[in-house]
Amino acid sequence: MSVDDTGRSERPTQEITVTVNGESVTAEVEPRLKLSDFLRSHLELRTVRVGCEQGVCGACTVEFDGTVAKSCMLYAVQADGREVTTVEALSEDGNLHPIQEAFHEEHALQCGFCTSGFLMATRDLLAENPDPEREEIEGALADNICRCTGYQNIYDAVETAADKLEGE
């Protein structure tokens, strides 16, 4: 897949090749383009949400180079030659991933704007710690803000997801 960036001829660009959700993508980008904007505008990966561009809210959290990172604090050029994973990679053929299922079942989302970030942070936590204590969940999700749910159902969703994944 190749993304062309026309109409900005006067602005210098750089070619990057990034593996996004397992697929290699080559694109011409301005060096200043944030990874979050690249994923959203160029690749139309809508689960990457931008809530603050200050590294606080966590809505743009993706997996970058093997760890979760806030994509608004990275430039797309930094992803050249690296791997990026977004929530789009979680659900296969429209079926929800166990973590997504858990968020649905526990009513762990309301407006949904923060949800992708929580899904990615939860995925990262459970990969490392399949059966986290409440306090460990608190710490693992401290970089993500939810303004709607008050977090109670998110804790439940993480625990439910842990159970589901354990059963797999």
Partner 1 sequence: MSEADTRAETDAEVEGEPEPEGQSFTGQGLNRVEDHRILTGRAEYVHDISPEGCLEMGLVRTTRAHAEIRDIDTSAAEAHPECALVLTGEDIAAEYNPMPCGLTEMSEWALAKEKVHFAGEPVALVVAEDRYVVEDIVDLVDVRYDGLDPVVDAVAAREDETVIHEDVGTNVPDSEELRFGDPEGAFAAADTVVEGEYSWGRISGVPLETGGAVAEYDPDADTFHIDANMQLHTLVDNTVFETLGYDAEDVRIEVPPDVGGSFGTKIAMHRYMCLTAMASQQLDGTPVKYVEDRVENLQGGDMHSSDREYTVRVAVDDDGTVRGFDFEFLDDFGAFPRYPINQVLKPLAVLTNGYDVEHVRYSYDLVLTNKTSQTAYRGFGVDPHLYALEMALDEAARELGVDPYDFRQINFIPPGSMPYTLPSKNIYDSGDYPAALERIRETVEEAEVCEGGLLDPDVVESRREAGKYRGVAYTLHIEPGVSGADWTNRQRSDRDDLSERDREDVAELPEHLRAEVLEDGTVRAYLATDSSGQGHQTLVSQLLADELGVLPSDIEVDYLDSVDAPTEYGSAASRMAVMLSGAAAGLGDRMVEQFERLAADHWGVGTAAVTYREGTVTRQDGPETLSLADLAALDTDREESLTRASYDYQHPATELEDFDEALARKLPVYPTAAFAANAPIVEVDVATGEVELLKFYSLRDCGTQLNPVIVEGQSHGGLAQGIGAALIEEFGYDDRGQPQSVTLFDYLLPSTTNVPEMVLEHSETPSPFTVTGAKGTGEGGMIDGPAAIASSINRALEPFDVVVDEIPATANRLRRQLRDQGE
Partner 2 sequence: MKPAPFEYHRPSSLADALELLADLPDAEPLAGNQSLSILMSNRLASPDHLVDINDLDELSYVEADNGSVAVGALVRHREIERSGTLAQALPVFPEAAGKIAGPVVRNRGTLGGSLGEGDPAGNYPCVAAALEADLELASAGGSRTVSADEFFIATMFTDREEDELITGITVPRDPFPPARTGQTFLAVKEAAQTWPTLSVAGAVRVDDPEDEEPVLEDARVALANAAEVPLRVPGAEGEIEGEPLSEAGLAAAGETAYEAVNPEEELHADETYKRELAREYTKRALTTAHDRAVA
Please, which residue, 31 or 107, has the CB nearer to partner 2? 31
Q: Is 14 in the site for partner 2 (CB under 8 A)?
A: yes
On whether the CB atoms of residues 87 and 110 are closer than 8 A, the answer is no
Q: What CA–CA distance (Å, rounded) separates 42 from 35? A: 10
* Window 42-81: residues binding partner 1 (CB under 8 A): 45-47, 49-54, 56-57, 59
Q: What CA–CA distance (Å, rounded) separates 1 from 3? A: 7
Q: Which does 74 bind (CB under 5 to 8 A by kind): partner 2, partner 1, none?
A: partner 2
- Mark 129-157 as b/e (b = at least 16 C-beta within 10 Å): eeebeeeebeebbebbbbeebebebbbbb
Site string for partner 2, 66-105 (x = CB under 8 A): -xxxx-xxxx-xx-x-------------------------
Q: Which does 47 bind (CB under 5 to 8 A by kind): partner 1, partner 2, none?
A: partner 1
On whether the CB atoms of residues 117 and 57 are closer than 8 A, the answer is yes
Identify each DSSP E strand in 65-151 by its residue range: 67-70, 83-85
Site string for partner 2, 17-56 (x = CB under 8 A): -------------xxx-x------------------xxxx
And the tokens for 114? 């923060």
- What's 139-160 look like in SS3? HHCCCCCCCCCCCHHHHHHHHH
Q: Is 23 in the site for partner 1 (CB under 8 A)?
A: no
Please, which residue, 41 or 107, has the CB nearer to partner 2? 41
In the complex, the residues that contact partner 1 under the rule CB under 8 A are 7-8, 10-11, 30, 32-33, 37, 40-41, 45-47, 49-54, 56-57, 59, 86-88, 91, 94, 96, 100, 103-105, 107, 109-116, 119, 137-139, 141-155
